[in-house]
Structure 1
Amino acid sequence: MSTSQHIGTRIRTQRRERGLTQDDLAHHVGVSRSAVAQWETGRTGQITGNLSRIAAALDVGVEYLVHGDDKRAAAEARQGDELALLRLYRDCDPEDRQMLLRTARRLARR
């Protein structure tokens, strides 16, 4: 399998995981549906000039699309608990936020 086919497979997989059609991805990137179909089948066309927009539309790193490895994903996994806490904090009422802060401060002193 060529590099462009690997990239195309990753684009297709990520697009499908996000429930996007080829038309949806094309709209987000600013290209035709035909261009997306070509990328996904390994006939790259103008993929290199669009990689950053494709990655942004799919919420992955360019590195992932090109190499199958996304250092961002590893960093996010390490920060997963922090991000989960932040999301929960944001969903709380203001008085509950204060209680969470007091609890976090008390736990941090241990």
Structure 2
Amino acid sequence: MKNLVLTLSIVFLSLSAFAQKRSDFKGPAYKNYKPWLHKNEVTLVYTVSQKTKLTGPAYKNYKPWQNKSEKTYTPISFVSKRSKLTGPAYKNYKPWRKDNT
């Protein structure tokens, strides 16, 4: 029994030790790393649109495995006009104004 507990504790400790991503850089290479010089892959984020909200007896009697309707996914975009601005126009950007360009 003691061996089993000891083995499980070692496994859990080793899993938690290797769960964190280790950086490849150390020392001056880590200090002088410039993330904007390296390109990252863009991943699209989707959301399900128009979910039906059931309440009461309809929710209680809902059978998800009988639902044959197709889900529609819409991509979420994080593009704003402010990201294209520089200098004083970026600093003085007011999102509540409709005429910002």
Q: By the TM > 0.5 criterion, same fold?
A: no
> Which protein has the bigger helix share?
1
**Structure with greater Cα Rg:** 2
> Which protein has the bigger strand share?
2
